[in-house]
Structure 1
Amino acid sequence: MPFAVLPAQICDVEPVYDVYFAAFKNEPIIEFLFPGGGDRKAHTAGTVQWWNHDRNGYTVKCVDTDTGKIVGMASWDIFWRPGEEGAWPKPDGAVWLEGEQRTKAEGVLVPLWEMHEKLFGKNRHVYLPTMAVDPDCQRRGAGRLLMQWGIDIAEKLGLAIYLESTEAGLPLYSRMGFERLTYVHMIHKAEVAGTEEDVEVPLMVKMPSKAKGMAFEDWAKRGYP
């Protein structure tokens, strides 16, 4: 089954996120972000609204060209415009939730957002918030294609790519040239993440060729040239 990566359209929101929820159904963080699986109708409506005004986000889909089925998705945030207008905006919080559910979700999300801000601030970069492949279609190249789409864009713009990995995603990202940051650490406490033990979130960066082999830490110290 040959795969191809195409821009996702408004009519794709529901099937694109069918893939997302299927891929992450066993990840503890999903229960924090979308308790009980969430209200999919509200999620679809909110996503459509967001896609209609988001200036930096580009969601792509991986399709089986024999059947037309969406088998993977990736949401890329490309902060390429000069000045603060094109910079990463720190989110307002888990606004789709209320009360204790919102507090729990923000216990996971806010530290991630703060680390993102610490590492990149208002500097131009590419960010991968989400990449997912249908469990029935994993290990067939869809993830690599979705990653390559963003890597090609980042290389043309001369920008670093940043992402927070799961342990399952580490092998793919490493094969595609991402380095794991070792001078900073992101730890989710067990009681916050809903796991038996504390969990370290792998923070990963891929540098553009114009960095000429420079590590991200040194690149950042030089002011993201």
Structure 2
Amino acid sequence: MSFTFSDVDVSDAENIARHVEVPAMQNGPLYRTMFPRSDTITEAGREEVVRWYCEMLEDAFQDRWESFLKGCSVDGTPVGFCGWTIMERNQPQVKANDGQTNMQPKKATWLPEAIDVDSWIAVSKALRAERDRVLKDVDNVCRLTFMAVNPSYQRQGIASMMMQRICEETDQHGRCAYVLAAPEGVPLYTKFGFRIVGYVETPQGIITSMLRPA
């Protein structure tokens, strides 16, 4: 099967949330920590979660401090999605989402009923502390903020093609790269030269801190 890759638009947010981000995350440690009752969530509750992620993606797509890439099937449906941001000491930075490992809304207007707020805040603080620990003396970093593939399309090379694009850009500018990886992502990042530099334990599993040298 062939896939096409292109930049994202704000109008892509709902389809990416519905067809990529939520399906890809729902068995991962962050999502299951945030939504510990996800196995019994109602259809209405799931729609609320999708809408929440959609609004966060809309915010991210509009802030222009991150780069995004989507992979689509032949009918145009998004099946893969990634995002990254560049951190440089001499450049002003805005807080960006950690995607698969630390999503927080920029407009804290509402939260899904199913979310465990205390657990979400606790794991977000732990992830931020780990990221700051690793990157405190590192300059010119490409930080991966999103990497997700719809489970029905995994193991078809989509994530590798997106990673290849990111790594080519990173190498061109002599940057290192950093990611907080869900368990299923560790082999992919290892394949592209990332090394494990730490771990964050969550109630639902381990998130791995990984750095790719320049």
TM-score range, shorter chain: 0.7 to 0.9
1:79 aligns with 2:95: no
> CA–CA distance in 2 between the matches of 1:203 and 1:45?
27
Q: Deviations over 1:31-68 (max 9, x none)?
A: 4435754443344234323422x24211210122x322
Shift of 1:206: 1.4
TM-score by length of 2: 0.77
Match of 1:115 in 2: 130
> CA–CA distance in 1 between the matches of 2:24 and 2:121?
22
Partner amino acid for 1:139? R
Shift of 1:201: 2.6
Q: Deviations over 1:105-155 (max 9, x none)?
A: 011111111111122237321111221111111111101011112112211
8 Å contact 2:130–2:209 — kept in the other structure? no
> CA–CA distance in 1 between the matches of 2:145 and 2:34?
14
Between the aligned residues of both structures, percent identity stands at 21
Shift of 1:88: 6.0
> CA–CA distance in 2 between the matches of 1:159 and 1:33?
32
* SS of structure 1 residue aligned to 2:133: helix
Match of 2:25 in 1: 24
Match of 1:63 in 2: 72
The alignment covers a number of residue pairs equal to 194
Shift of 1:98: 9.3
Q: Which has the higher contact order (CA 8 A, sep 6+)?
A: 2
Partner amino acid for 2:134? L
Q: Of residues 189, 201, 207 in structure 2, which corresponds to 1:201? A: 207
- Listed as ranges, the gaps of 5+ residues in structure 2 are none
8 Å contact 2:28–2:183 — kept in the other structure? no
Q: Deviations over 1:72-116 (max 9, x none)?
A: 001212225x5151476799x956449993221011111111111
8 Å contact 1:163–1:205 — kept in the other structure? yes
CA RMSD after TM alignment: 2.8
> CA–CA distance in 2 between the matches of 1:115 and 1:56?
22
8 Å contact 1:94–1:105 — kept in the other structure? no
Partner amino acid for 2:68? T
TM-score by length of 1: 0.74
Change in CA separation of 1:45 and 1:171 when aligned onto 2, cut-off 3 Å? closer
Larger Rg: 1
